[in-house]
Chain A
Amino acid sequence: MADTRQYARLAGTAIAVLGVAAAFLYVGGWFNPEALTPARFADGFERVDGIHSGFRLNHAKGVCVSGSFESNGRGTRLSKAVVFKAGRVPIIGRFSLAGGNPYVADGSEMVRGLGLSFKLPDGEEWRTAMINTPVFGVSTPQAFYDRLLASRPDPQTGKPDPEKMAAFLASHPEAVQAAKIIRSHPPSSGFENSTFYGLNAFWFKDAGGRSIPVRWWFAPMQPFAPANTTGPAQPDKNYLFDAVIAAILHQPLEWRLIITIGQANDPTNDATIPWPDAREQVDVGTLTLDGVESEDSDRCRDINFDPLVLPEGMAPSDDPLLSARSAVYSQSFTRRVGEKELPSAVTPSEVRK
């Protein structure tokens, strides 16, 4: 009898220990192998684009730029963020092309990216990663992942299976709608005259504690010229990068930072939907890029342009893409810095030629 009780207590101890261990693993998602995690997202990129040692999983091809942001002080009424106080802060940035292949040949229809890191005088930092389309193609992380897998080239033909993409679009009317908006904004001739959009909504908080929904975009001072999409194929596979390098070395490039102020019914959780054109726009300062370097000789390669590195006075909205971007960018960063670094397509000699 005493023995039975003793065994029961021993069993109780074992059950309690195993129960705690199981609870820990449950919280860590071990019993939900189908859930989309940052690691599975990263695996998806590697499945579609292959593993390119030392490169970002997306926007793998890029070049480093540097310069400054001169705030005109008009942003202080929108946000107490230090970056909006009148004055100049240093910038490190990176132009990139979307996709996981760091050696892909430039094409004018490819999505262009601009990542920026603002070093603020109080030791804070603001990072943003933008692209040259006015809205994002999908509204949720799962849709992004599904579209990524649908775009995977068939090993037989080397081309994506059109049926898979059609199936994706059939179940994602918001992606069809977004594609229509993106097509109505034809790309410019190069990085230097591209408009870059932050896409996701954020909250700005002013010194009085008032919060407003905003989106931001960088409007180029370099005049728009349409991309040559009908002429003969460009001979140089780095022609977009070569052009922006030459432009910066010729004279500094400038963009105006425009804050779009949302109103109560403007969606903050859906980056596929543009806000009405009539929304108030505030020009808060000028970005100047006057330095350019290969990723091999400059350390923008070491920066994760995580869109949720925000100074006090800016906060994420309820857009589900934001937290997911932060998580997957972090996963991408952790993977690539642990890998052997291979030379970039845009080499140091490419910058100096």
Chain B
Amino acid sequence: MSTSVPTEQRQFTVLMRLFHWLTAALVLTMLGIGVAMVASLADYHRLVSIHRPLGILILIVVVIRFVNRHYSTLPPFPATMSPRERWVASASELLLYALLVVQPLVGWGMLSAARYPITLFGAMHLFPILPHNVMLYAVLRRAHTVLAYLLFLTFLAHFGAVLFHTWVLRDGTFSRMAPWRVRAH
């Protein structure tokens, strides 16, 4: 890594890192809840009651995160990354953002189309965003599953790529997003 890069630019900003790890925790929890609840009889209701408000929370966090990213200065890619790798990294980042926005909207939309009440906490509930149409529900319900697996696979690729760079190539990729402060050598 070039010594000409100032310390503060080797890492993503504090706010960006905070958003990253917050999103990671929320989304991994959500993926676990989602895949567990569809297979559960005993815990179905408890899990689905967390799933709805958590999905909306993720939607809000991701939108704010995206806006913050737009106004933040990003550190450069590690020198070990080829132009093609950089393109793949940028594309997968965009795909993750897209999935994290679309997935909660599909969930909200499918409950709207089925006219399920979209309860968050207590009496608090969301308005429907789509017309009452159970055929639409059927399509969106399937899409919700497909997108969930796609989201998990995209996360897995991201996780694997960072591990590969950090452990095998040892180019300090992880330290760019590390929750703690990493100083330049």
Contact = CB atoms under 8 A, between A and B. Distances in A.
A312 to B, nearest CB: 4
A333 B160 CA distance: 38
Given A24-B32, A124-B123, A9 B44 contact: no
B114 A337 contact: yes
A17 B160 contact: yes
Contact of B39 (A35, A123, A311): A35
Nearest to B44: A327
A20 interface: yes
B141 interface: yes
Chain B interface bracket (under 10, 10 to 19, 20 to 34, 35 or more): 35 or more
Contact of A13 (B31, B134, B160): B160
A342 interface: no
Interface in A22-38: 24-25, 27-29, 35-38
Contacts of A324: 41-42, 44
Interface stretch (A96-104, A131-139, A209-217, A302-310): A302-310
B138 A334 contact: yes
Contact of B32 (A27, A37, A82): A27
B137 interface: yes
Contact of A24 (B46, B114, B123, B152): B152
Interface of A is mostly: helix
A91 to B, nearest CB: 15
A316 interface: yes
A236 interface: no
Contact of B36 (A29, A316, A334): A29
A308 B156 contact: no
Interface string A248-282: 00000000000000000000000000000000000
B86 interface: no
A17 B163 contact: yes
A59 to B, nearest CB: 17
B83 interface: no
Contacts of A20: 156, 159
User: Which residue of B39, B114, B119 has the most chain A CB atoms within 10 A of its CB atom?
Assistant: B39
A188 to B, nearest CB: 32
Interface string B2-44: 0000000000000000000000000000011001101111111
B159 A323 contact: no
Interface string A109-130: 0000000000000111100000
A311 B123 CA distance: 6
Nearest to A125: B117
Interface in A315-338: 316, 320, 322-324, 326-328, 330, 333-334, 337-338
Given A36-B41, A303-B115, A328-B41, A9 B123 contact: no
B45 A334 contact: no
A12 interface: yes
- Closest 10 CB pairs between A and B? A28-B35, A338-B138, A327-B44, A29-B39, A312-B123, A337-B134, A324-B41, A323-B45, A17-B160, A312-B122
20 contacts: A10-B164, A13-B160, A24-B31, A24-B32, A27-B32, A29-B39, A37-B38, A123-B127, A124-B119, A141-B41, A141-B42, A302-B134, A304-B114, A306-B116, A312-B122, A320-B42, A323-B45, A324-B42, A337-B114, A338-B138
